[in-house]
Amino acid sequence: MPTITRPDGSVVTRAAEAERLVRSLGLGVAKAAPAASLALGRVIAGRRLTDEDSRQILAANRHLLPASHVGADVFALFPGTPGLGTLRFHRCHTHADDEVRFILAGEGIFGFVLPGGDQIEIMVEAGDLLRVPAGTEHWFRLGPRRTVVAVRLFGANPDWRADYTGTEILFPTE
């Protein structure tokens, strides 16, 4: 189970409590070692992702990805990536499709508004496969290393439109 944090900085250490929180959101959480590939090594070392790297990384990891989605691509963010300070997903939003991510390197932090209004953040790292159901209020931000390489899985309508909800994020901002 990935690390779950509350807005006061406390970590959910009881496995049963972590499972209850994940279940209450309907999240899919799984773990699989990402396939090692020359392309992934090149992307991490060079802090740059090309279309060819993306194709090779997807091919190497295809067998680890759920077959229920129609398409996939790779995204990569590094310190210095233009626009990093103004990530448009660091605001509460929902999507009409499931948001599915398989983390290949680095880490990312997904925040969620629980039924009832409490909030949690979940740190996902290499090997974490997370499915956020359509309609779930969430946000995304980078972790301490400011680096993430991940596969995005597409449903039938991959427009990535974010419907912003206006809910205030209770976690301290960076």
Q: Residues 125-164: x/- map of binding to Fe ion (CB under 5 A)?
A: ----------------------------------------
- Single out the residue of 34, 5, 20 nearest to residue 150, CA to CA: 34
Residue of closest CB approach to Fe ion: 99
Q: Quick one: which H or E segment has residue 150? A: strand 148-154
Nearer to Fe ion, 56 or 140 (CB): 140
In angstroms, rounded to a whole number, what is the distance separating the alpha carbons of residues 58 and 44? 15
Q: Residues 98-117: x/- map of binding to Fe ion (CB under 5 A)?
A: -x------------------
Nearer to Fe ion, 40 or 129 (CB): 129
Q: Residues 81-100: x/- map of binding to Fe ion (CB under 5 A)?
A: ------------------x-
Instruction: Give counts: helices (H), strands (E), the chain.
Output: 3, 10
Least Å distance, CB 93 to Fe ion, is 6
**Residue ranges of the alpha helices (H) in 11-69?**
15-25, 38-46, 51-61
**Size of the residue set binding Fe ion (CB under 5 A):** 1
* Coil, helix or strand at residue 4: strand
Least Å distance, CB 61 to Fe ion, is 21
In angstroms, rounded to a whole number, what is the distance separating the alpha carbons of residues 155 and 147? 25
Q: State the residues that interact with Fe ion by CB under 5 A.
A: 99
